[in-house]
Structure 1
Amino acid sequence: MTLEGRGPTSYYEVVQWFKDRGFDRVVFLGGEGKRINYTGDGYEDGRYLALWIMSHVDSIKYYITIPFSYGNGELRDDPSKGFANSYWKKWIDGVLSVFDSNRLGFYWSYESCLQATTDDPALKVLGINDNQKEQYKEAYIQFIEDMSNYIHDHVQELIWIPATGTRSAEYLKNNSGIPVISEHFDYVFVQPNYYQYNSTYTYEKLVEKIRWICEDLPGNINNPNTTISIEMEADSAVLLGQCGHCASCRYENNHCVWCDNEKCLERACDYSRAIMEVNPSAFPTRAYYFGTDLRVIDGVREKCQGW
């Protein structure tokens, strides 16, 4: 993380930067596992990361990732083979072997909202054919349930932050895995992904999606202890002269060459505008994505009421 063009002098300082902005917990990510160490030994991999966090960050509560994939995008294991002997159970055991009172629980890093459906992108990676898809889906749902129960048995929480892309609220209601497996998580922070996509993803569509998250989805979750909320999204493209992954940026050869920073800031503000339109008191607990520059959160909050 950076602030005013400089990095922190210590991990304690960067934690203070978060706390000064009202954040009471952080999530350690890792690109669904692609940027997390992989040796093949889940226990040692999980223990290694847990020891690193415990020895470097000691003054803020956090969730630690459960890495879904590795390096080249392949999965660290096959969920349909069950949780009990999986890489992921060994990872969780490795993390749990390190006592840390700041750890609240785990973050399931697979973001696809299509998991637990027969359209899950993981099916292609695993080579699952059409005749096997329904069987895989049922096994995957059982895997998530077993993982959740195991984590809860160890008095830890499990959270998920599913990405929805440009999919409509109606599509998500009828075709996504969010209503199917959310009951197994303590917190589900749905990513609207409005900030990242072009003008075909209208403000009206954002309002529709937030209304679904706020009003419809919770009633379809068979667990009163599951909190359904939202991820607020912005990045460095809201800052003058900076680039990012905003819909109002232009990329050439995967390189950002220009951004309309004012439009990006307006697009970030649309999140709070839409929430105010649907229900001003909605989502008291939220997740935030704002890149690696804390000036982003400061700039957006200065411009956008309710962020």
Structure 2
Amino acid sequence: MATFGLWYFKWNDSSYESRLKLTLGGGTATVQDFKNRGFDYAVAVGRGGEHIEYSGNGYHDGRNFAEKVLNEYLSNIPYYATIPYYKYQSLSEPRDNPSGDGKYWSDWIDGILSIAGSNLRGFYWSQESAWMIHDGLITLEILEVLSTKINDYGLKFIWIPHARTKERDNTDDIVRITGASPPEAIQ
């Protein structure tokens, strides 16, 4: 079975730095350290986008992320690139109009694709709220457009929803959250 690990990066107003540190001896972890921990794939993320450069130009931001993170840090491991939801230094403002056409996010994908290496396996949607569509944080139509675009390149679009919260009743009920049919019971 393939194993995926989230590898966090942070924009420091001029460049990206890895937030993956070695526990013993300090220093920044390498791809080999990541592989030694049993991960087959890296998912390059930045805390929902809060730690990802935001200039307002999705193509520029995506291309810079690919150049500085994907090509420099992750060139020796298959990876998924984040699609950052939030603006830099904000966990409340989306990068695009969540009910609009998704242009910033579509341009981000184009920027990544313009220079991403052959280890790119797909994209990871960084808004982890399972309630994002229900709460109006994003429209299903934008996600469908982005997913189709990514799949048309032969790549995968992944999302790891975080559903449980103390602020809302029944958040461990994925059927209620998504409207999906319940899975068959495992015998």
TM-score (norm 1): 0.48
Following TM superposition, by how much is the alpha carbon of 1:16 offset from its aligned partner in structure 2, in angstroms?
Answer: 1.2
The offset of 1:23, in angstroms, is 0.8
Distance 2:23 2:116 in 1: 31
Distance 1:178 1:33, change over 3 A: farther
Closer, same or farther in 2 for the Cα pair 1:148/1:34, shift >3 Å? same
**Post-superposition offset of 1:179:** 3.6
Structure-2 separation of matches of 1:59 and 1:68: 26
Say if 1:169 and 1:34 are closer, same or farther in 2 by CA, change over 3 A: closer
Q: Tell me how far 1:178 sits from its aligned partner.
A: 7.4
The structure with the larger Rg is 1
Equivalent pairs counted in the alignment come to 161
Please name the residue that 1:149 is paired with: 148
1:162 aligns with 2:161: yes
RCO (CA 8 Å, sep 6+): is it higher in 1 or 2?
Answer: 2
* 1:80 paired to 2:90: no
Q: Describe how 1:112-191 pairs up with structure 2 within 5 A.
A: 112-117=129-134, 119-120=135-136, 122=137, 140-166=139-165, 168=170, 171-174=173-176, 176-177=177-178, 179=180
Contact kept, 8 Å, 2:150 with 2:156, in 1: the verdict is yes
Residues 7-62 of structure 1: CA deviation (Å, up to 9, x unaligned): 24xxxx62112212221011111111111000011100000000112133221111
Post-superposition, which runs of at least 4 consecutive aligned residues in structure 1 deviate over 3 A? 166-171, 177-180
* CA 1:61–1:170: 2 relative to 1, 3 Å: closer
Report the Cα offset of residue 165 of structure 1: 2.1
CA apart distance, 1:93: 0.5
SS in 2 for 1:79: coil
- The C-alpha deviation readout for 1:174-213, integer Å capped at 9, x for no partner, is 2x13749xxxxxxxxxxxxxxxxxxxxxxxxxxxxxxxxx
Higher helix share: 1
Say what the alpha-carbon RMSD is for the aligned residues: 2.5
Deviation at 1:80, TM superposition (A): 1.6
Name the residue aligned to 1:56.
Answer: 73
3-state SS of the aligned residue for 1:94? helix
Structure 1: how far apart are the matches of 2:179 and 2:101? 20
The amino acid across from 1:20 in the alignment is N
CA distance in 1, matches of 2:67, 2:55: 16
SS in 2 for 1:43: helix
Distance in 2 (CA, whole Å) between partners of 1:168 and 1:142 is 26
Contact 1:49/1:95 (<8 A) preserved:
yes
Unpaired runs of 5+ in structure 2? Answer: 1-20
Instruction: Write the letter of the residue equivalent to 1:3.
Output: T
Identity percentage over the alignment?
38
For the 8 Å contact 1:113–1:178, the answer to whether it is kept is no
Distance 1:178 1:27 in 2: 27
Alpha carbons of 1:81 and 1:169: their partners in 2 closer, same or farther (altered >3 Å)?
A: closer
Amino acid at match of 2:72: S
SS at match of 1:81: coil
Q: Give the distance between the partners of 1:177 and 1:82, measured in 2 at CA.
A: 22
Q: What runs of 5+ residues in structure 1 fail to find an aligned partner? A: 123-136, 181-215, 220-277, 280-307
Query: In structure 2, do the counterparts of structure 1 residues 40 and 96 end up closer, same or farther at CA, with 3 Å as the change threshold?
Result: same
TM-score, scaled relative to structure 2: 0.76
Q: 2:26 is matched with which residue?
A: 6
Q: In the superposition, relative to structure 1, how do residues 178 and 114 fare at CA in structure 2: closer, same or farther (>3 Å)?
A: farther
